[in-house]
Amino acid sequence: MYDLSNISIDGLKGVGRVKKRALNNLGISTVADILYHFPRKYEDRSNLKKIHELLPGSVETIKGTIVTSEITRPKPRFNILKVVIYDGGSYLTVNWFNQGDYLKNILTRDKEVIVTGKVRRNFGRLEMSAYDYEIIDGRGENLNCGGIIPFYPSTGGLNQRFLRSLIKYCLDNYLNSLPEVLPNELIQPMNIPPLQWCVLKMHFPDTMEEQEKARMYLAYREFAFYQLGILTRKKSIMKNGIIINNNMLVQEYIRSLPFKLTAAQIRVWKDISKDLKSTKPMTRLLQGDVGSGKTVIAVMSLIASCDSGFQGVLMAPTEILARQHYLDLKETLGRLNLNIALLTGSLAQLEKKRILELISSGEIDIVIGTHAIIQDNVMFKRLGLIVIDEQHRFGVNQRLRLQQKADSPNVLVMSATPIPRTLALTLYGDLDISLLDEKPLGRGNVITKYVSEQNRKKLYDFVKKQIQQGKQAYVICPIIDESEKLDIENAVKMEKVLKEVFTGYSVSLVHGRMTPQDKEEIMGQFRAGNLNILISTTVVEVGINVPNANVMIIEGVERFGLSQLHQLRGRISRSKNEAYCFLLGDIKGQEAKYRTKAMCETNDGFKIAEMDLKLRGPGEMFGTRQHGIPEFKVADLITDGKILEASMRHVRAFIEEKQYIKAELFGRHTKFMNIDFSKIYG
């Protein structure tokens, strides 16, 4: 058997230098890549029509003999090949535009052909504009007409005819060497059709039912293959769990809070403390809309961990957020006699060294920080709990690396963006979910409105009134994809304008390129209430908590995703005051209009996330590329939930029995479709 992922496309039939480069652009460099290059759609051209049955306006397929073939040149650089076809009963003129010079030698008299094209009326007579043809010469392949025809993702230089014939060639010559990717135990009991059959039928199905069956079992394989990786890795991490069952300090902390826990917080805490008490390490996702009070839960878990003699970690995606958590918690935790430290990338060397020592000696109880915590030189004495805030900002590998800093730590990940169950299963293999589905009492409403350009002045007057009442405002500048430099230029311009509009008020700008110190200086001013208006690129997006700010202006609303807009808005519903979110920008586009409407209509983060997921799909919404969610070739995280759960069940049972799957399986298929195991294990 060949290893198809080692056979280059060099020297395959019809692949020269130019075609090779075009194929490479599609991510194809080996025969395996070609076999896994699946169609993006199909067209059913199996239903052959008689010429006399044709109706204008539809796309049809006919079969017949070429009677005449003639090229005309109505204009310079424009030609039409007119081919008359006879199907035994009637004649039809079929036109090819601007391909005549090449096709006139192929579509010649007496050849028998199948043609697909659009039927039109021309001066009262029916004609056809051809899309595709197939010559019937006894070699018998209907690759382009006369069956269910695949259409492939392509780039310039590669037309569908070429791709179809290349793929057919590879199927004919190499399909037999394509090995099954899953162990027999996961295939046989369920009577799953062989991988080779599935691949063949994805390309050239005889019916669409066949294609769907093939797709389904490829999706099953993709999910299962990926799950095997995640679960075996997880198993190697989790041996025996830590028991955390001391709640004295937690009770003291709860008593010190200026508010009562919500019923949802109490319920979630029950879930978590049960996990912590058991020997099985916790892997729990805490989902709660922005402002639902996730931080308190994180702190309770961390305190419980310390009270039982373990260290805890709280990792946040940005330096600003980590610092905010640190500042918020330092005093409270100090009163409970817990030592906490902040660990971020911008710490001075000496200070960092000192803190690292305190962490490894166990003197620090709770470390709060950014992904700087993941680095190898950070070592714990007895890490018991890891909390990851805004988990969707981190990749699978980052989480797993943090987990490897202890024997089998408890893990709590928190997110304001609800992850659909399928995605959660994919990311974590196995994960419990708790919901904070209730906001603390006495939160003011957020009113969200779209403001057109001509009402800008009115808007600013309104903001002035709010500031006069002691409130503060955010102004969010749009992100421009191409360049951070442009973002910042824009933001600086905005600062200039607003400083003029709001003379006599204090206005400042934070953006991503500022030093952490400068950022923190301004954030500190804003938190302290010394700053009326904070202009910002999206650095305030996650987690920032300044309850006195109750106005947010978002510029360039069309440039933000729905979940992102909701996250931003979450910054201003943090007190009992009524809050106002104003959206500005160009909403002529359909999606922008839909997003703006959704924002104005609902404040429910779960509904928003659902709409966002439908709008963009999980890939874009969660930034799969950075975050290690595999981009499955055929499996769909939204619609294939049932298949995922089935594969999950089988894989879990399989892993329970087998111990040495890694060596046996992963050596053989380091790369199946897109899933690269060296990455999962990276």
Binding site for ligand ADP (CB under 6 A): 259, 261-262, 265, 288, 290-296, 416, 440, 545, 547, 574
Q: Are strands 112-122 and 125-135 parallel, antiparallel or unpaired?
A: antiparallel
293 forms part of the interface with Mg ion (CB under 5 A): no
* Contact partner, 545, from ligand ADP, Mg ion, none, Cβ < 5-8 Å per class: ligand ADP
Residues contacting 376, CB < 8 A, separation 6+: none
Closest approach, Cβ 338 to ligand ADP, in A, equals 18
543 forms part of the interface with Mg ion (CB under 5 A): yes
Number of chain residues interacting with Mg ion (CB under 5 A):
1
Closest approach, Cβ 262 to ligand ADP, in A, equals 4
* Contact partner, 624, from Mg ion, ligand ADP, none, Cβ < 5-8 Å per class: none
* Contact partner, 259, from Mg ion, ligand ADP, none, Cβ < 5-8 Å per class: ligand ADP
Residue nearer to ligand ADP on the CB measure, 288 or 618: 288
Residue nearest to Mg ion (CB): 543
Closest approach, Cβ 389 to ligand ADP, in A, equals 7
Q: Of the listed pieces 101-109, 355-363, 442-450, 535-543, which binds Mg ion according to CB under 5 A?
A: 535-543
* Contact partner, 547, from Mg ion, ligand ADP, none, Cβ < 5-8 Å per class: ligand ADP
* Helical H segments across 602-663, by residue range: 605-622, 624-627, 641-657, 661
Strand-pair partners of 127: 93, 120
Give yes or no for a contact between 107 and 85, defined as CB atoms under 8 angstroms apart: no
Residue nearer to ligand ADP on the CB measure, 1 or 441: 441
* Contact partner, 63, from ligand ADP, Mg ion, none, Cβ < 5-8 Å per class: none
* Contact partner, 288, from Mg ion, ligand ADP, none, Cβ < 5-8 Å per class: ligand ADP
Give yes or no for a contact between 15 and 166, defined as CB atoms under 8 angstroms apart: yes
Residue nearest to ligand ADP (CB): 293
* Contact partner, 627, from Mg ion, ligand ADP, none, Cβ < 5-8 Å per class: none
Q: Give the burial class of 444: count Cβ atoms within 10 A of its Cβ; 0-12 exposed, 13-18 middle, 19 or more buried.
A: middle
Residue whose tokens read 């006069």:
468
Residue nearer to ligand ADP on the CB measure, 269 or 622: 269
Residues contacting 186, CB < 8 A, separation 6+: 224, 650, 651, 654
Residue nearer to ligand ADP on the CB measure, 163 or 599: 599
Closest approach, Cβ 299 to Mg ion, in A, equals 11
Q: Which backbone phi and psi does 522 adopt, to 5 degrees?
A: -70, -45
Reading the block at residue 14, the tokens are 């019809």
Closest approach, Cβ 265 to ligand ADP, in A, equals 6
* Contact partner, 418, from Mg ion, ligand ADP, none, Cβ < 5-8 Å per class: none
**Sign (positive/negative) of CA torsion 139, 141, 146, 152?**
negative
Strand-pair partners of 134: 114
Distance of alpha carbon 276 from alpha carbon 250, whole angstroms: 13
Distance of alpha carbon 393 from alpha carbon 321, whole angstroms: 12
Residue nearer to Mg ion on the CB measure, 39 or 543: 543
Closest approach, Cβ 324 to ligand ADP, in A, equals 9
Distance of alpha carbon 161 from alpha carbon 373, whole angstroms: 53
Closest approach, Cβ 530 to ligand ADP, in A, equals 19
DSSP string across 18-34: HHHHHHHHTT--BHHHH
Buried-state track 175-214, b at ≥16 Cβ within 10 A, e below 16: beebeebbbeebbeeeebeebbebbbbbbbbeeeebbebb
Q: Which residues bind to Mg ion, rule: CB under 5 A?
A: 543
